[in-house]
Amino acid sequence: MSILPLSVFRLHCQATTTGKIHTSNQTDLTLVKTVMPNPIVQTGHPVLRAEARELTRDEIKSAEIRELIEIMREVMRAAPGVGLAAPQIGESLRIAVIEDEAGEKTKMSEEELNLRERYPVPFHVLINPILTNIGDEKVDFFEGCLSVTGFAANVARYREVNVRALNEKGEEISIDAKGWYARILQHEIDHLNGILYIDRMYSTTFSTVENKARYWDALDRAKPSPE
185, 163 in Cβ contact below 8 A?
yes
- Tell me whether residue 51 is one of the annotated catalytic residues: no
How much is the pLDDT for 103? 77
Nearest Cα residue to 68 out of 45, 42, 93, 36: 93
Helices then strands, each counted (H, E), the chain: 8, 8
pLDDT tens-place string over residues 81-98: 999 999 999 999 999 999
- Quote the Cα angle for 76-53-67, to 5°: 40
From the list 74, 99, 143, 188, the catalytic residue is: 188
The stretch 154-183 carries a mean pLDDT of 98
pLDDT band at 211 (very low <50, low <70, confident <90, very high): very high
Relative to beta strand 138-144, strand 172-178 is unpaired
More confident residue, 150 or 105: 150
Mean pLDDT of 190-218: 95
With a CB cutoff of 8 Å and minimum separation 6, the contacts of 108 are: 116, 118
Sequence-separated (6 or more) residues with CB below 8 Å from residue 30: none
Rounded-to-integer distance, Cα 202 and Cα 194, Å: 19
Task: State the pTM of this model.
Answer: 0.84
Round to whole Å and give the CA distance between 139 and 149. 23
Residues listed for the chain: 227
Please check whether residue 157 is in contact with residue 135, taking contact to mean a CB–CB distance below 8 angstroms: no
pLDDT at position 33: 44
Q: What is the pLDDT of residues 26-40, one digit of tens each?
A: 544 444 444 444 689
